[in-house]
Structures are given as C-alpha cells and as structure tokens.
Amino acid sequence: FQATPAERVVALLLDENAEDYALSPVAIRVRDQKTSSLAGKLSVSKTITKKVITEKIAILSQDARADAQFSSAESIVSQGVRSTICAPLITETEVHGVIYADRLNPFEVFSQEDLELITAVAAQTAITVETVKAHKRLAREEIARANYSRFMPEYVVNQILQNPDSFRLGGINQKITVLFADIRGFTLLAENENPERIVELLNRYFKMMSELVFEHGGTLDKYIGDGLMAIFGAPTVSPMDATNAIKCAVAMQKNLVELNEKLRAEGYREIGVGIGLHTGIATVGYIGSDKRSEYTAIGDTVNLASRLESLAASGEILITEATAKESLESFRLVERQAIKVKNRLQPVALFEVKWN
C-alpha cells in the first residue's frame, strides 16, 4: 500500500482439483479503516481472472466500468470499482493464481508504473508459492514412498509416484504368479517362547522374506499371521514373473538355512517354511474404501496358491504345472501326485522344486 494507491488487494490461488479456473483467496488486505468494511464484500471478477490465467498476462484497467473487455463483469459494476490491476502468479512451469488490486475512488486510477510493480510482486510471490508447493509435494511423496516401500519394490514405487492416477480404486484381470509362505509348527514354537522373543523372531523372519520378495521384483501383498502372500506380475508385468517367483521361493528356503544357524546360536528353536506357487488370471488392484484400501489380488489363482502352501511340508516348494510352464529358466522339478480342486474338472498337476 505504500508503493501503490491500491485500496483493496487479494491473493488468490488456483484450486488444484477444481475445474473452470476456480480460485480461493489466501490473503486480503485493505488500505485503511474506511475500506475495511468492504473487504468482506470483495468479489473478484471471474472474467478478469480467467483472462489473466488463460492468456498469462497482467491486466490494467484505468476505467473498469467503461472497459469493453470487462463489460460482462458484474462484480466490477456492483462494487463500484474504478480501476483495477490483475497479475498472474506465474513461474516457468505454471500459473498458480493471481494478485488482484482495485481502486474505488472515481477520481484516482492505477498507472502503468503500478501495473509493473504489482506484476513484479506477483512474480516473486509465484516463486514463493511454487517453493512451498514443492516442499509439501516432497513431504507427501516421502510419506507415500515410506508406505509403498513396505510392500513394493523401489521401481514400482517410483512408477506410482510418477503416475499416481494409474493406481486408483478398482481392479483388472491379469496373469500373475502368487506365492504363499508359512512357518510350520509355529503354534508349538509360540507356546514355548515368551512373547517378546516371538515378536523379535517374527520381525527378523519377515524382514528377510520381504526383502527377498522385493529383490526378485515381487509385491508384498500381506502378512497373514506367521505367513505372507506375495504377487509377481502386478502392478507391473514382466515375462520373468513366474521365473522370479520360483527364484524368490528358492532364495527364501536357502536364506532360512542361514537364519536358522543364527537362531540356534541364540537359543531359539529352528523354523521351517512351506511355500506354494501358482500362475493364472487374478483380479488385482486397490480394493477397499476411499478411506482405506489395499493393493491385493483375489480369485481362484490366489486360492490355489494358498492350497499348495498348505500341502507343502517344511522346506518344500510346491508349484503347479502352470507355473512350471511359465518359467523361462530350468529348475530341478519332481512331479508330485495331482490334487483335486473344487470347481475344477481335472486334477491339478503339482511339482516340487528341489533347491538343496
């Protein structure tokens, strides 16, 4: 107000999720007590702001009521605005909003120098706004990255953050390989250990298993008691999905041998894990409500993988023929007795993956 004769000034920011150039006021200032009562009545012309935003130019009108370009701006007439300036909050990347200033005195108007000054102020304000937005965006991304990284490999997390619109509520049907792993004899183990040691043991176990899932390009779907479910082929698809899933299962069993050596040295009982895998079509996506959803897979493919895991003894990896055929690499397989599965006419062929 010291540098310009403006009587009312308002800074407005574009609503990021709104349409039709909707603006929200973030700061309103008036020159003196005389005009303070008019602050609450301030209505900024959408005609002016839309022109400034779309054309990315600053506007000076020394006689707003007579200006042809504002003939449809009813707020100009109704508020008795004599002269107005509107400048975009613009940076190299985008328009963030506008600064609007006006004069009500019918005998005093803005000058070209006033326009240049307010435009310069708007440019500096835009840089500040963009910096604040960038900091908030980075903070949100860090929180999102931390949350997603608990369940997905880093390259998938990066894709989600770069294109969040591609990961919304809803699902699609696609071919995936599902892996279930579960500790054998956990109930007996839990009965003979104190709760603190059991929790510490599970945390070490899940840390090892989840890291192996990520290393092999899988997505950690969920922890289920002392077991886990992982999917390969969603949200991103690769010809190596089935191969990576089998490799992950083998790595789990081999790493468990090393973990058991450490557990024995620390006085823990050894743990054994049974693993089951199946490849097929499943519904995958974010399932839940707007307030809480989980990226998961559902369907017969998931159920069959879970069934195989329940049949696998400690140290065993069982896969279906479908998974074996999808694999692009050779593994030592031993055919097992086929199993009958509900809603399937033919028995399901099984193979055990020999890893030791």
* Interval 34-69: pLDDT, tens: 555 554 556 677 888 888 999 999 988 877 555 655
Are residues 305 and 280 in contact, defined by beta-carbon separation less than 8 angstroms?
no
Q: Does the pLDDT at position 76 exceed 80?
A: no
**pLDDT at residue 151 in the model:** 61
* Average pLDDT of the segment spanning 97-102: 89
CATH class entry, domain 168-354: alpha beta
| Cross-strand partners of 284 | 297
- Determine what percent of the chain is predicted with pLDDT higher than 90: 43
For 179, other C-beta atoms within 10 Å of its C-beta total 32
By DSSP bridging, strand 95-103 and strand 83-90 are antiparallel
Are residues 137 and 93 in contact, defined by beta-carbon separation less than 8 angstroms?
no
Min mean pLDDT across 55-69, 141-155, 260-274, 302-316 is at 141-155
Name the average pLDDT for the chain: 84
**pLDDT at residue 156 in the model:** 66
Q: Where in the chain is the domain with CATH 3.30.450.40?
A: 8-146
Q: Where in the chain is the domain with CATH 3.30.70.1230?
A: 168-354
Domain 8-146 has CATH 3.30.450.40: yes
pLDDT in tens, 104-147: 777 778 889 999 999 999 999 999 988 888 878 777 777 666 76
What confidence tier does 72 reach under pLDDT thresholds 50, 70, 90? very low
Token pair recorded at residue 334:
């031993």
pTM of the model: 0.63
Tokens 């092999």 sit on residue: 216
pLDDT in tens, 189-210: 778 788 888 899 999 999 999 9
Sheet with 8-14, edge to edge strand ranges? 23-30, 8-14, 95-103, 83-90, 59-61
Q: Phi/psi of residue 91, each to 5°?
A: -120, -170
Alpha carbon distance 227, 182 (integer Å) = 4
Alpha carbon distance 248, 214 (integer Å) = 9
Q: Which residue has the higher pLDDT, 316 or 149?
A: 316
Buried-exposed string 40-75: b where 16+ CB fall within 10 A, e elsewhere = eebebbbbbbebbbeeeebbbbbebeebeebeebeb
**pLDDT at residue 327 in the model:** 94
Alpha carbon distance 219, 297 (integer Å) = 10
* Average pLDDT of the segment spanning 75-82: 57
